[in-house]
Amino acid sequence: MKSCNVFAACAAVIVDLVAAGNSDAQPGPQRPAFEVASIKRNKDCQTVSGPGISPGRVSLSCLPIRTLVRAAYGTAPGGSLMTSRVDVLGGPSWLDSNRYDIVATMADKTSVADLVPMLQTLLEERCKLTVHKEARDSPVYALVLDNGAVKPSPTKDLTCIPMDLSAHRGEPPKPGDPAPRYCGYGGPKVSEPGVMILDLHAFTMAEFAGKILRGLVDRPVVEKTGLTGRFDLHIEFDISALGPAQGGGGAAAPVPVSEKTAPSIFTAVRAQLGLRLLPVSAPAEVVVIDHVEVPSEN
């Protein structure tokens, strides 16, 4: 578990790892639902943990409702992971300030992809949530190739497992078996106060733009490099210079200023990867909240 103060800008990226399935599912009498689900306000939230998924059980801790809405409705069809994080607009301020713990049970054979319609049902029942999707012309960053000599390193070992969540049920590896090595794996760590390091394995440029960079800058990022295949990426930057946390307009939590001089995320992308983030305008799909209520905890 990571400190909430340090990783506020990346919290949504963690939850996006369970966001797959059909986001256009409609309510009905046979709609998938958790067998039992508990949702409770956490008023003393000190840490953010990734989703705990095991056969028959899922737990999410210290997360705002807006992040859960994004996971439930900002999804791609099928069992593969989406390559970009969809913005969730509208709704009251408590969607970002209040944080909740969720513990739910389901059938042992439930796949991770099946959790998406179950999470939709939970939010609609407990929060009386209604949403719709629309495309809006929005300020975005285009991720493009720079003119410098540095370029992303192609992944040499492509023995990684595609993250098809329809087949994933959260079972740990058997004793003696190595942990699975998924494509698009990696995450943040802090080398010293204020300096974040990202080591990413076998990422496509679309995944890097839409899932990683989107959580670190103040607008959506679209991939325009033209690079195909998967890449290993290493980048170090100053987290104290990050823009507002995305999803509801709340500011990212302050972090200590590093004694080491670290570049901004924009400078790091250009100097260390040979890429560039250019501000442009483009249509982007968003999820708009029409109605939501404070979740019932019974």
Q: Determine, yes or no, domain membership for 280.
A: yes
The answer to whether residues 120 and 143 belong to one domain is: no
What is the separation of C-alpha 5 from the centre of its chain, rounded to a whole number of angstroms? 17
pLDDT tens digits, one per residue of 50-100: 567 777 888 888 999 999 998 888 765 444 445 566 789 999 999 999 999
- The distance in angstroms from the start CA to the end CA of the chain is 27
Phi-psi region at 65: left, alpha or beta (left = phi > 0; alpha = psi -120 to 50): alpha
- Comparison of pLDDT for 86 and 2, the residue scoring more: 86
The pLDDT value recorded for residue 65 is 95
Q: Are residues 280 and 152 in the same domain?
A: yes
Residue 38 pLDDT > 90, yes or no?
yes
* Domain limits for position 178: 138-284
- Rounded CA-CA distance 215/247 in Å is 9
pTM above 0.85, yes or no: no
Within a domain: 233: yes
Tokens of 238: 């100053």
Same-domain check for residues 184 and 270: yes
183 & 276 share domain: yes
How confident is residue 295, by pLDDT bands cut at 50, 70 and 90? very high
Q: Using one digit for the tens of pLDDT, what is the confidence trace for 237-285?
A: 998 766 543 333 333 334 444 455 789 999 999 999 999 999 999 888 8
164: amino acid identity, one letter: D
Same domain, 184 and 218: yes
Six-digit token string for 15: 């939850």
Domain check: are 145 and 231 in the same one? yes
For the segment 96-115, the average pLDDT, to the nearest whole number, is 87
